Structures are given as structure tokens and as C-alpha cells.
Amino acid sequence: MIGNVSISRRQGVEWNSLPLGPGQVAIGWLGQAGFAFRYGRRAFLIDPYLSDSLAAKYEGKEFPHPRMMPAPVAPGDLSGIGWVFCSHRHGDHMDPGTLPVIADNIPECRFIVPAACVGHAVESVGLPREAVSGVNAGQHVELAHGFHVEVLASAHEELAFNDRGESEFLGFIFQLGDVRIYHSGDCTPYRGLEQSLSADPVDIAIMPVNGRDEYRTSRGIIGNFHLEEALRICEDCRIPVLLPCHFGMFAFNTADVAALKMRAQTLAGSVRIVVPEINETFLVCGEPQ
């Protein structure tokens, strides 16, 4: 038990086939910032990048985007997905090679995106308008009994808004029974984030740790948390588990996986780092508050 949750790994077991008991949550990493979740009969994804669309888009450019890891599942092989959340419009989070395939194969699936990006999701990504719902920071959305979502702003190096004042970048806190999971989307520290995360206890924080630097920023590669920044937020907000992500996909914009694992092994304190791997499932169980 870590804080109010237990979390264990199931190597070689797929997130969509692991038997779940009452109150248990299955989490599978899809690579980059993409994750799949199951809670009871409900399944949803966030930021799935399961294609090679960016490799085609940036072929021959300064920063080509060939995948460093295979997709754990083809978009067309997914089934039973009720919702797909997208934190922002960048192609590795709102993938035109993944989302329309899901929409075609699972007509009942709904896509929840920033209100600022609804037009992009429909006109550029190719999602059917009736399947897309826009949300904004500050909203609470109840999707089913025991499953609701709090929407937070994220700062992808800075907070950004459209001309209607809607946040361009979002994070989500998923309440799944007694388990609360924060997915920051692409984000860096900003004033007010820790206050939002401390309002109600969060059990697991999923945060990108590929960092940022002047070289990448000067070339339009917008950065994210450094690992130590993510750890500090978890410590300050009493979040017991950090699930780092946004590494191992593109060679020019990743994190040192060996260093991540070493830090996880040597870390002493109130936060546990759990480094995800493809083709494993996390089984999470919470205790009633």
C-alpha cells in the first residue's frame, strides 16, 4: 500500500484483459503520454499516439519523428472504448492517424478535447463533430456512476488561451471510485497548479519528464517538467505515486530511461516513482477515504 492505494505490475498482461475486482483500476501505457484505463466495465484512453503520422509529417525535416518503440496496439484493433481524452492539439496527443480510426470502428466512442481545439479536432484531425465534446479548465464532468473528471489548465511552458479565454492545454483528474489519478498532459510548473492538486488528495500523478532547454525551445520544441520538478510537486501535494511519461518515443525529445529507473531505485521519501513499460499493466486498488 502506498498512501491510500496499492499498485502492482502485471508483466505481459494486457490492460483490457486483466480481471478486475470491485474498485480496481487497470492502467496500460501506450507510449509517449498515452494511457489506457479500465474501471469496471468502462474503458477510456488519453492522448493515444498509435500511428506513424508524425514520421510522415516530418520526414526530411530537422527533427524527423520515427518511432523508437512500436505501438502496443493498432488503432483498428481497439474495442470497447467509451471515451478518448486529448489534452491538446499537438499530433502526439491528438493523432490524426489514430483518432479517426477509433471513431470509425467504435461509433459510440466520444472524444473529449479542449474547447479551444474542437475545430482542429473536426477539421484537421477528421473526427465527426457529433462525437466531439469540448471542455475547459475548471469544469467537472460526470461521465458515469463513480467516474467523473476534473479539468485543469496546463502550462506547456506557459499557460495559453484562445480569444474566448479557453485554455489551449489541459490536464485531467480522473475519479475512478476511490482512486484519483492526475494526468497533466504536457505541462511545466505554474502558479496555482499545486493548489488545484491539493484540494482533494490525488493518488497517482502521470506527468511528462522529458524536460526542456533553450536549444529545443528555440526550435519550437516546447518542453515539459524535469523529473525533479515533477517529484517536488508530488511531494508538496502529497501524491504518493509518480508515473513518468513522454519518453522513449522520439530520439530528439526524450528522457534518459536508465537515469529514470536509477532515480526510482534510489529515491527515499514520500513519493514512489513507477517507470512504465510497454506490454505491462498496472493494477491499482484504492481504500475508501
Task: Kindly state the average pLDDT of the residues 43-66.
Answer: 97
Per-residue pLDDT for 229 more than 80?
yes
Q: How many distinct structural domains can be found in the chain? A: 1
Q: In what order do the strands lie in the sheet with 132-135?
A: 5-11, 280-286, 24-31, 34-39, 42-46, 83-85, 110-114, 132-135
CATH number of the domain residue 251 falls in = 3.60.15.10
Amino acid at 51: S
- pLDDT at residue 13, as a whole number: 85
Give the closest residue to 27 by CA, choosing from 287, 288, 286. 286
The pLDDT tens digits for 121-138 are: 999 999 999 999 999 999
Task: Kindly state the average pLDDT of the residues 141-161.
Answer: 95
- pLDDT at residue 152, as a whole number: 98
State the average pLDDT for the chain: 95
Q: What share of the chain is helix, strand, coil (3-state, %, to 5)?
A: 20, 30, 50
C-alpha span between 184 and 180 (Å, rounded): 13
Per-residue pLDDT for 183 more than 80?
yes
Per-residue pLDDT for 269 more than 90?
no
Task: Kindly state the average pLDDT of the residues 111-126.
Answer: 98
Going by pLDDT thresholds of 50, 70 and 90, the confidence category of residue 288 is: low
Q: Taking the mean position of all CA atoms in its chain, how far away is CA 181?
A: 10
Q: Is 180 helix (H, G, I), strand (E, B) or coil?
A: strand
C-alpha cell at 41: 466495465
Q: Is 30 helix (H, G, I), strand (E, B) or coil?
A: strand
DSSP state for residue 81 in the 8-state scheme = -
Q: Which domain holds residue 175?
A: 5-286
Going by pLDDT thresholds of 50, 70 and 90, the confidence category of residue 146 is: confident
